[in-house]
Structure 1
Amino acid sequence: MNVCPGDVVCRSVPARSMYQEYYNMSVIQDHYRFAKGLTQDQLQERLHSRAGLSSLSLVFLAICGVIILENLLVLVAVFRNKKFHTAMFFFIGNLAFSDLLAGSAYIANILLSGPQTFRLAPVEWFVREGTAFIALAASVFSLLAIAIERYVAITKVKVYGSNKTCRMFLLIGACWVTSVLLGGLPIMGWNCMGSLPACSAVLPLYSKRYILFVVTIFSVILLSIVILYVRIYLIVRSSHREAASSPAYALLKTVTIVLGVFIACWLPAFCVLLLDTSCRMASCPVLARADVFFGFATLNSALNPLIYTLRSRDMRREFLRVLCCWGLLPRGGGGGGAGADRCAGPLKSSSSMEHCTDRHEHQHQATPIMQECTTCV
């Protein structure tokens, strides 16, 4: 063994014994002390700190609670109403499920951070961080899947043929398999255990190369979404017939909101992670506040339901009916029984997406997955 900067002992861990180190409780302390540039006294202070959750952590916990409630409403609405058993709504439901897991994983991450971090074995630390990475990656891949579906819909390419359902669920399955592989790489061996200088300052058991790889993947996804939405914009603008219709303007508005919110939420976190790959904590103090940027990125999971579903009046009505069933809204009230209508009244199509869905379902009642009508957004 040799000595690294900061008087932290560097262990040379053979590959065959690396997984044995996953249960070594002192590994977390060594990595955090080196990555964060802590002295032994500072480390002991963190180890024995009895401080509770900060006000910022409490705010993020509240936001995560909203994320879980919002996305649970989306899932219940899509599940209980056959009107929403269409390709577009299945993709939205997949996005809602990934965002719900992202909110749950971030709650666990907050509760197991601070002094609790040093009570974790490396394998537990990898599960804590990997779960958050998997959930957030699935959310990003779901956004890409929705962008692909909308591009296919606007170009009227019939990818949903006789085996349309199989193809749709294969795309959803690929989203989750890729996310699990991406988030599980560190626990499978791509980490910096045994090589402290290669460690991330923000995530001290993760390799800087892995961080760079993840940021590159997400950047490629972002670029792909931009390209797809630009293509959609150009197609709609080039069609005088569609440009004059309300669905086209609704599509452009949705695209602008989605793209703007995605970039606003994720770009700061990407920048911090990129900085982490080339800068140490002492030289870049902003890395010490990385949790704020990750929390801000999680806001995307709270905003996605608003962007993708609350623009649909039928979905809003279904939300109210679900809340009534849960007893969170009164079934009656002022306004001539408006509350009861919200709880039990039949859905009436009101937005461009729903008009299109109804028209298609009357023509093909036996095949609920949209084939042609997904041009409506």
Structure 2
Amino acid sequence: MGSENAGLSRIFREYRNNEIITLHYNYTGKLQASRYQGGLKTEAVVFLFICTLIVLENLVVLIAIWKNKKFHSPMYFLLGNLTLSDLLAGVAYAVNIIMSGSNTLKLTPLLWFFREGGVFITLTASVVSLLAIAIERHVTMVKMKPYHEDKKGRMFALISASWVLSIGLGVLPIVGWNCLQELEGCSTILPLYSKSYILFCISVFIVVLLSILVLYIKIYRIVKLNSQRFGSQRKGVARKSQKHMALLKTLTTVVGTFIACWLPLFILFLLDVSCQVLRCSILYKADYFLGLAMLNSLLNPIIYTLTSKDMRKAILKLLCKCLLNSRDGKIKRFLDWSTSKSEKSSHRLEGMEVTVSSGNAMPSPIKPLCPKTGKS
């Protein structure tokens, strides 16, 4: 019992000793760069801007889902969970950037673990949420039934499992899976993380990636098989072919974007595990690879929600209300672009229709950019 208390006391002292940060960063060679001197670098400012876009974009999608009752279904809740995890990833990464650079050497190991763990947890939640969506889509395609009350249980189970896995994976270093006692086993990219822990995380992410890929291939095969069975009775061969191509393009975009954003970071971490200290200079450019992975959180709402016609309408209506309504609730007359002071007429968006000449000289109506913003 005494030895256990002594061990806990030692760990507690280590977690509060900021000299350990300097020791590990110096051992891995990261202090040789000028990054840990002065304020934020140019690339850090760019990444902060990207984080701001991630937060704003995902916040708009979350509000749109929350304000529209027709989106209160299991699949949209899963999309909302993905959006929430991406939003939190943007926040966590922004905090990470602000606490990086010269501020890194002022941190205690405990704060360092929280800084990096926040990014790990939220990014893992985003990745696992993609898997949860793929699972739900696959189950729905197999059963070919509309949503019922019993599906809410599966939806909550998938959401809970995604966060339990993410939090569990993110807190492992702070509960002991780190390299505070063995510098030789430390990661160069994340100097307080054990290489064995990094390898474990990459293995989990690769399994998730392969699972998403397999599930979407199965979904495509199910749709193709159903179209072959029933499509000729409804739409014909040409229509079936169009559906196949549209689905194939969507799945290629989904999986291709995920791979393009995450695979470089996976490869870099595998290189980190295999390289000896100070041997691989590319490891000191890891921020760019992590920034690329963060772009997936920027693109996820576009791929998974904005491709929905209903979601596009809901988001457009929400943005128009924010941009066009003045404080007293009236629509701003911002479409009056005339520079003439004598022209005082303003354009109203509600119900407005404009006609333009088409190629055959027949006028065709164009729908207003913003949907009506009347009372719902």
TM more than 0.5: yes
2:15 pairs, out of 22, 28, 46, with 22
**C-alpha deviation, 1:282, in angstroms:** 2.2
**Structure 1's 341 and 27: CA in aligned 2 closer, same or farther, altered over 3 A?**
closer
Q: Distance in 2 between the 1:155 and 1:313 partners?
A: 24
Whether contact under 8 Å (1:215, 1:273) holds in the other structure is yes
Whether contact under 8 Å (2:35, 2:102) holds in the other structure is yes
Aligned-pair identity (%): 50
Q: Which has the larger radius of gyration?
A: 2
**Structure 1's 266 and 37: CA in aligned 2 closer, same or farther, altered over 3 A?**
closer
Residue 304 (structure 1) aligned with residue 300 (structure 2): yes
Deviations 1:81-120 (A, max 9, x none): 0011112111110000000000111101111111100000
Whether contact under 8 Å (1:68, 1:104) holds in the other structure is yes
Whether contact under 8 Å (1:98, 1:135) holds in the other structure is yes
- 1:181 paired residue number: 168
Single out whichever of 255-264 and 145-154 deviates more from structure 2. 145-154
2:250 maps to amino acid: T
Q: Distance in 2 between the 1:232 and 1:314 partners?
A: 22
Alignment of 1:157-306 (within 5 A): 162-238=149-225, 239-240=227-228, 241=230, 244-245=239-240, 249-306=245-302
Q: Distance in 1 between the 2:146 and 2:201 partners?
A: 30
**Structure 1's 343 and 84: CA in aligned 2 closer, same or farther, altered over 3 A?**
same
Residue 344 (structure 1) aligned with residue 373 (structure 2): yes
**C-alpha deviation, 1:15, in angstroms:** 5.9
Q: Distance in 2 between the 1:305 and 1:162 partners?
A: 26
Q: Distance in 2 between the 1:299 and 1:346 partners?
A: 36
**C-alpha deviation, 1:312, in angstroms:** 1.5
1:288 maps to amino acid: Y
- 1:324 paired residue number: 320
Residue 35 (structure 1) aligned with residue 28 (structure 2): yes
Whether contact under 8 Å (1:101, 1:135) holds in the other structure is yes
Whether contact under 8 Å (2:202, 2:270) holds in the other structure is yes
Unaligned runs of 5+ in 2: 1-5, 232-236, 326-330, 336-346, 353-367
Whether contact under 8 Å (1:144, 1:225) holds in the other structure is yes
Q: Distance in 2 between the 1:87 and 1:254 partners?
A: 21
- 2:56 paired residue number: 69
- 1:371 paired residue number: none
Q: Which has the higher contact order (CA 8 A, sep 6+)?
A: 1
**C-alpha deviation, 1:59, in angstroms:** 1.3
Q: Distance in 2 between the 1:63 and 1:46 partners?
A: 20
Deviations 1:28-82 (A, max 9, x none): 00010001265xxx48x766x22x3222111111111111111101110100000
Whether contact under 8 Å (2:30, 2:284) holds in the other structure is no
**Structure 1's 37 and 110: CA in aligned 2 closer, same or farther, altered over 3 A?**
closer
